[in-house]
Amino acid sequence: MSDADMMQLYSKRILALAADIPHLGKIADAQGSAMKRSPQCGSTVTAHVRMEGGRIADFGQEVRACALGQASAGVLGQSVMGASRDEIAKGADQLRAMLKEAGPVPDAPWGGLEVLVPARDYPNRHASIMLSWQAALAAIDEAEAAGEAAHG
């Protein structure tokens, strides 16, 4: 990878998102938590959620990833509050398609993922970029399963 390619990949917008990730850390009353790890690069993201009425009422994330993974977590964190599982899954599917199939930038509120378009050319970074989304979905699934068991 040339220096110019590296500079484009780690643009100022990516670094700004990576430096200011919303909802960092654990939450005290999480109903679901899940850790996802990329075996390719060793990046990890752990997500914690509290759900109310099928929507995220509280969210925390512990992000140990490259700048691209951190930027992706930053975009997720900016709009995760109040989102449903389906909305997060749709954003994750659109992000995956944007990276792997040169699909369009994800719909609002995930349009900030446009900053990751240059990562299309670096498939070895895709797993790290997807981690926060996968962890959030797994945490929601755990929270929903716990809720069903409690009301079962």
pLDDT at 7 over 60: no
From CA 130, how far away is CA 62, in angstroms rounded? 14
pLDDT at 3: 59
Structure token digits, residue 4: 């110019």
pTM equals 0.92
pLDDT at 110 over 80: yes
Question: Per-residue pLDDT tens for 12-53?
Answer: 889 899 999 999 999 999 999 999 999 888 999 999 999 999
pLDDT-derived band of residue 149, with 50, 70 and 90 as boundaries? low
From CA 115, how far away is CA 100, in angstroms rounded? 15
Report the phi/psi class of residue 48: left, alpha or beta, with left for phi > 0 and alpha for psi in -120 to 50.
Answer: beta
Mean pLDDT (whole number) for 59-82: 96
Mean pLDDT (whole number) for 60-71: 95
Mean pLDDT (whole number) for 57-85: 97
The answer to whether domain 7-151 has CATH 3.90.1010.10 is yes
3-state secondary structure of 44: strand
From CA 53, how far away is CA 125, in angstroms rounded? 35
Kindly report whether the peptide bond that precedes residue 109 is cis, defined as omega within 30 degrees of 0: yes
Q: Are the C-beta atoms of 92 and 130 separated by less than 8 Å?
A: yes
